[in-house]
Amino acid sequence: MSLSNEEILGLVAGVCTTIAVIPQIKKAWKTKKVKDVSPGMFAILMLGVGLWVVYGIVQNDLPIIATNGVSLGLNSVMMYLMIRYREK
């Protein structure tokens, strides 16, 4: 498998936007506090990255499919933590 420079650039960009949520997951996991975090942000993010996956499939664009697929999974983890640690 050989990647073009453009595909490598897209993958690096996608890795950044994909892993960005990991520090937030770690923080929520460690502190068990999500009071200041917006649930709306993660709900809209999940919808958006889901649509990006569809877009990537239609355009046959590997970086978009791969990175947004993982992003959907990570955002689901964060949404789970938001629900688990919400203040009643």
Whether 82 and 34 have beta carbons less than 8 Å apart is answered as: yes
Q: Is 1 or 40 the residue whose CB approaches its own copies more closely? A: 40
- Which of 3, 13, 76, 86: binder of its own copies (CB under 8 A)? 13
Residues 18 to 57: which contact its own copies by CB under 8 A?
A: 18-24, 26-28, 31, 33-42, 44-45, 47-49, 51-52, 54-55
Residues 60 to 79: which contact its own copies by CB under 8 A?
A: 63
Q: Residue for token digits 């990570």?
A: 74
Give dist(CA 74, CA 78) in Å, integer: 6
| Max CA distance (Å), the chain | 51
Length of the chain in terms of residues written: 88
Q: Is 15 in the site for its own copies (CB under 8 A)?
A: yes
Give dist(CA 76, CA 5) in Å, integer: 31
- List of residues contacting its own copies (CB under 8 A): 6, 9-10, 12-24, 26-28, 31, 33-42, 44-45, 47-49, 51-52, 54-55, 58-59, 63
